[in-house]
């Protein structure tokens, strides 16, 4: 996967936190809370890590997850009452293969190096670990809001949004098996499993955000040894002897 340099126009995640307090932000947050609550289905003993602060984590996390839940956030992130670690997201202070489920709620759009963040996610996840990503659609008609004077600098319309097909390609290069789980407008959750194919094709235009679910695959290469070459063996009684006829017998 190609490397990328730090983007000079990366916005602070604090603007996203502020936008979620607006009427449109509250509508979207209610839908994403419902989706996250239904999608986080791991045992309470598993390690659950979230990259970036949303501010409404307690609304989608069951109380049983709080003991093993941690947030890793940048220094300029909003405060949270949940256990948090301040660190650079492109260099996570986590051991390799130590996390069972990793949540990236609109994290890639506001990080400095998107590719490096995905590499770090692959490093810290255990084999068969789950990666849950929420992202904004870059080609949505809702992004026309950015041309309004009072919405020009709002977080969703000025972030570095990634098309979900491109993100799936990036994840595939890192040995993830991913799929589009759902997409959101400001009114409804559209689950891809129960939608027609034509609605999924049109989802980048009519949705404001999407959710991807990916699993880290680990493949073990088993060397195949060549079989020893055995000489052919004859079974008595299957082949009848033949009499050769010579010319002098004519």
Q: pTM of this prediction?
A: 0.78
Q: Domains in the chain, start-ordered, CATH in brackets?
A: 21-221 (3.40.50.150)
pLDDT in tens, 70-123: 999 988 787 888 999 999 998 999 999 999 999 999 999 988 899 999 999 999
Backbone angle region of 175, left / alpha / beta, with phi > 0 → left and psi within -120 to 50 → alpha = left
Indicate if the pLDDT at residue 8 is higher than 50.
Answer: no
pLDDT in tens, 216-238: 998 767 777 776 766 666 666 55
Percent of the chain with pLDDT over 70: 73
> What's the confidence (pLDDT) of residue 212?
95
What residues contact residue 68 under an 8 Å CB cut-off, 6+ apart?
44, 45, 46, 47, 48
Residue 19 to residue 150: CA distance in whole angstroms: 12
> What's the confidence (pLDDT) of residue 140?
66
Nearest to 76 by CA among 17, 117, 26: 17
> What's the confidence (pLDDT) of residue 198?
46
> What's the confidence (pLDDT) of residue 34?
94
Three-state SS at 138: coil
Percent of the chain with pLDDT over 90: 47
- E strands in 82-239: 84-86, 99-105, 125-136, 176-184, 189-191, 209-216
Nearest to 42 by CA among 25, 67, 22, 59: 67
- Burial class (CB within 10 angstroms; exposed 0-12, middle 13-18, buried 19+) of 235: exposed
Radius of gyration of the chain (CA): 27
- Burial class (CB within 10 angstroms; exposed 0-12, middle 13-18, buried 19+) of 27: middle
> What's the confidence (pLDDT) of residue 18?
82
Residue 71 to residue 147: CA distance in whole angstroms: 34
């Amino acid at each position: 996967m190609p490397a990328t340099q730090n983007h000079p126009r990366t916005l602070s995640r604090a603007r996203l936190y502020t936008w979620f307090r607006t009427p449109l932000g509250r509508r979207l947050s209610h839908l994403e809370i419902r989706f996250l609550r239904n999608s986080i289905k791991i045992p309470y003993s598993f390690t659950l890590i979230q990259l970036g602060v949303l501010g409404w984590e307690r609304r989608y996390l069951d109380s049983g997850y709080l003991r093993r839940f941690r947030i890793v956030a940048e220094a300029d992130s909003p405060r949270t009452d949940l256990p948090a670690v301040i660190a650079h997201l492109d260099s996570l202070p986590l051991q390799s293969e130590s996390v069972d489920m990793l949540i990236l709620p609109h994290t890639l759009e506001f990080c400095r190096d998107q590719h490096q963040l995905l590499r770090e996610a692959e490093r810290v996840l255990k084999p068969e670990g789950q990666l849950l990503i929420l992202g904004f659609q870059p080609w949505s008609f809702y992004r026309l809001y950015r041309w309004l004077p009072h919405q020009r600098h709002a977080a969703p319309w000025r972030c570095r949004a990634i098309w979900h097909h491109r993100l799936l390609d990036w994840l595939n290069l890192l040995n993830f098996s991913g799929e589009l789980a759902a997409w959101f407008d400001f009114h409804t959750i559209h689950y891809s499993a129960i939608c027609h194919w034509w609605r999924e094709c049109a989802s980048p235009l009519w949705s404001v955000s999407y959710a991807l679910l990916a699993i880290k695959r680990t493949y073990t290469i088993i060397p195949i040894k060549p079989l020893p070459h055995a000489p052919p063996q004859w079974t008595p009684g299957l082949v009848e002897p033949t009499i050769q006829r010579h010319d002098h017998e004519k």
